[in-house]
Amino acid sequence: MRTAALLLGALLAAPARAAQAPAPDYGILLLAHGGDPDWNAAIERLRARADASVPTEAALGMADARSIQAAVDRLQARGARRVIAVPFFVNSRSEVMDQTRYVLGLAPKPSEVLRRAAERMMAAPAKDGPPDFVMKRMMAAMMSPARLKTRLPVVLTSALDDAPLVSRILLERARALSRRPGAETVVLVAHGPVDDAAMPAWERVLARQAAFVRREGAFRAARWAILRD
């Protein structure tokens, strides 16, 4: 399955559909973690650009069934007969992706790892007062057993993983900060999974990304680290 980066890159590079060209029979469901207004606005710009070629709707949150349902309903109303779900997440091997597969009807069980993590976060004492409304809503969505209700076939692509586009972005950012690459070490830091069993997959991806940045940027070395909640 093509990765999110490859599929979105192809769509954004393509010209808008000609007026006489038949509309595609599928729609794209863009899955992205919600954030501050600037981040959400950037996701909306990405959605709008893809929408110029293929009907595209976005669902923000971490496997938020309500957001996903609303987005799929919009795609169906626009004439989509099948859905290609494109997760704008870092790694395909994560509890969020596992829960997303469940919500989309592609896995028989929800992520037990994600449920336990959400329960711990809700129970933990807050340092600056109780969790705000947005955090509570996100945690409730993570623990919800709700699933997508649709008759449309759904396909889920892989996440970003070690897509070449991501490697180039990391390289460009390292070069922008560099002064003497031959004497410098680049450190890639990732927000890792909760699940211990998922760690090897993250480590393999980060090792490949680091090797690419070191080689193409002629850096002295490149290392990686994972921060986990």
Query: Confidence band (pLDDT; 50, 70, 90) for 29?
Result: very high
23-27, 47-51, 165-169: least confident range? 23-27
Q: Residue 198: what pLDDT?
A: 94
- pTM attached to this predicted model: 0.82
Which of 102, 52, 96, 51 lies closest to 74, judged by CA? 51
User: Where is pLDDT greater, at 211 or 112?
Assistant: 211
Query: What percent of the chain lies above the pLDDT cut of 90?
Result: 69
Res. 55 pLDDT band, cuts 50 70 90? very high
Q: What is the pLDDT of residue 18?
A: 47
- 58, pLDDT greater than 50: yes
Residue 156: in which H helix or E strand, if any? strand 154-156
| Exposure of 163 in the CB half-sphere (CA atoms within 13 A) | 23
DSSP 105: T
- The stretch 157-166 carries a mean pLDDT of 94
Helix (H), strand (E) at residue 22 = none
Amino acid at 172: E
